[in-house]
């Protein structure tokens, strides 16, 4: 029960001392319960408030009510108590301040918070490695928009008007484009090849460029497909560029990327923007081309000893027709182009079996490459 001041029945020194003792015990007990500043304010008001504070009551009930001959002693006692109450209240405030100060204090001897330094994402690192191989051959880096027009993504790359690649099953189109002419309609580029046209519009031949970037296709995500992935494409245009230059360049690049012992192998293929076109395989850099890892079959090359790594070919003269005015007369210049998936090469290189792992953003997975 909270302490209340009661009238004194007698004013002997002993009775005054006893009453004072009781009051001080209550004061100490309440002071000990003060934990913060708002506790402290309540405590202070209970004891010091002019109207009905404990000290005021003491003044009224003990001092004013004292008989004349006891006034002097009662007055001394009340003054003494007043001082003790004030001191205790001040001390309680100091304690709450020191207490809150303690939790905010900085212990300079503690080790600092370590912020981990970021690292290149494995796909970006792979892309940078590929780019640097070509930079060392004198290629410059070109980039272009991810949101493209049909013209740059398809038409100028010699895709005929009804080519199935334009189907919405393959290509992600920006909505509400129907009122525009077909060639102006926007889409998420399905390859980095539009940058070939954009660069040839800007720069006169000879050119040697490498084009890294994000591309999108309408593929549902699974272990080997992602609606977003990364391509690296290359283009070289000059007079007298031959298929031999293409083979020599790519053979060198593969040796620089996967080791000097890898072999390359070309087989015919088709792309609208190259003629002739080829797919290039490299001898499996995981099993060394044997198709086996010890007694186990080599999965990445499906036991064939070869891994399909890129598409390539000689630039179709029809493509040059679109940039003929900037010096790309198909009768005077020739060139080769190639493109590969950075994600796929990263999967092979790091032995990862699910492309989704690259894009889920799980730090536990990504940290392994840091």
Positions that interact with Zn ion (CB under 5 A): 284, 286-287, 298, 301
Nearest approach, Cβ of residue 338 and Zn ion (Å): 22
Q: At what angle do helices 71-104 and 37-48 cross, to 10 degrees?
A: 170
End-to-end CA distance of the chain: 65
Tell me whether residue 256 or residue 286 sits nearer to Zn ion (CB atom). 286
Tell me whether residue 278 or residue 298 sits nearer to Zn ion (CB atom). 298
Nearest approach, Cβ of residue 170 and Zn ion (Å): 30
Nearest approach, Cβ of residue 260 and Zn ion (Å): 18
Nearest alpha-carbon partner for 273 in 322, 323, 325, 314: 314
Residues in CB range of 292: below 8 A, 6 or more apart: 298, 303
Angle at 332 between CA 328 and CA 336, to 5 degrees: 65
The residue behind tokens 């087989």 is 267
Q: At what angle do helices 13-32 and 37-48 cross, to 10 degrees?
A: 160
Nearest approach, Cβ of residue 181 and Zn ion (Å): 48
Tell me whether residue 241 or residue 301 sits nearer to Zn ion (CB atom). 301
Tell me whether residue 236 or residue 281 sits nearer to Zn ion (CB atom). 281
Tell me whether residue 213 or residue 289 sits nearer to Zn ion (CB atom). 289
- Give 86-132 as a 3 state SS string: HHHHHHHHHHHHHHHHHHHCCCCCCCCCCCCCCCCCHHHHHHHHHHH
Nearest approach, Cβ of residue 148 and Zn ion (Å): 36
């Amino acid at each position: 029960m909270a302490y209340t001041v009661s009238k004194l029945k007698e004013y002997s020194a002993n009775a005054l001392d006893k009453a004072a003792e009781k009051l001080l015990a209550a004061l100490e007990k309440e002071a000990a319960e003060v934990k913060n500043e708002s506790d402290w304010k309540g405590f202070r008001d209970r004891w010091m408030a002019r109207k009905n504070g404990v000290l005021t009551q003491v003044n009224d009930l003990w001092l004013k009510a004292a008989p004349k001959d006891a006034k002097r002693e009662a007055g001394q006692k009340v003054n003494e108590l007043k001082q003790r109450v004030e001191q205790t209240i001040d001390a309680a405030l100091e304690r709450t301040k020191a207490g809150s100060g303690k939790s905010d204090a900085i212990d300079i001897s503690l080790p600092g918070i370590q912020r981990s330094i970021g690292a290149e994402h494995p796909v970006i690192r792979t892309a940078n490695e590929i780019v640097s191989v070509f930079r060392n051959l004198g290629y410059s880096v070109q980039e272009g928009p991810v949101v493209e027009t049909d013209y740059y993504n398809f038409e100028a790359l010699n895709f005929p008007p009804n080519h199935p690649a334009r189907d919405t099953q393959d290509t992600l189109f920006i909505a509400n484009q129907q009122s525009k002419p077909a060639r102006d309609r926007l889409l998420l580029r399905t390859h980095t090849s539009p940058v070939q046209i954009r660069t040839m519009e800007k720069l006169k031949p000879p050119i040697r460029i490498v084009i890294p970037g994000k591309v999108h296709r309408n593929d549902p995500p699974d272990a080997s497909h992602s609606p977003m992935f990364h391509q690296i494409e290359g283009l070289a245009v000059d007079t007298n560029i031959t298929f031999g230059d293409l083979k020599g360049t790519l053979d060198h690049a593969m040796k620089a990327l996967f080791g000097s012992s890898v072999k390359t192998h070309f087989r015919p293929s088709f792309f609208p923007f190259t003629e002739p076109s080829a797919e290039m395989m490299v001898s499996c850099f995981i099993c060394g081309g044997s198709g086996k890892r010890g007694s186990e079959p080599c999965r990445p090359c499906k036991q064939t000893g070869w891994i399909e790594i890129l598409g390539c070919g000689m630039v179709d003269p029809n493509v040059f027709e679109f940039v003929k005015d900037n010096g790309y007369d198909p009768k005077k210049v020739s060139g080769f182009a190639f493109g590969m998936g950075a994600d796929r090469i990263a999967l092979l290189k790091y032995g990862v079996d699910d492309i989704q792992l690259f894009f889920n953003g799980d730090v536990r997975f990504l940290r392994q490459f840091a």
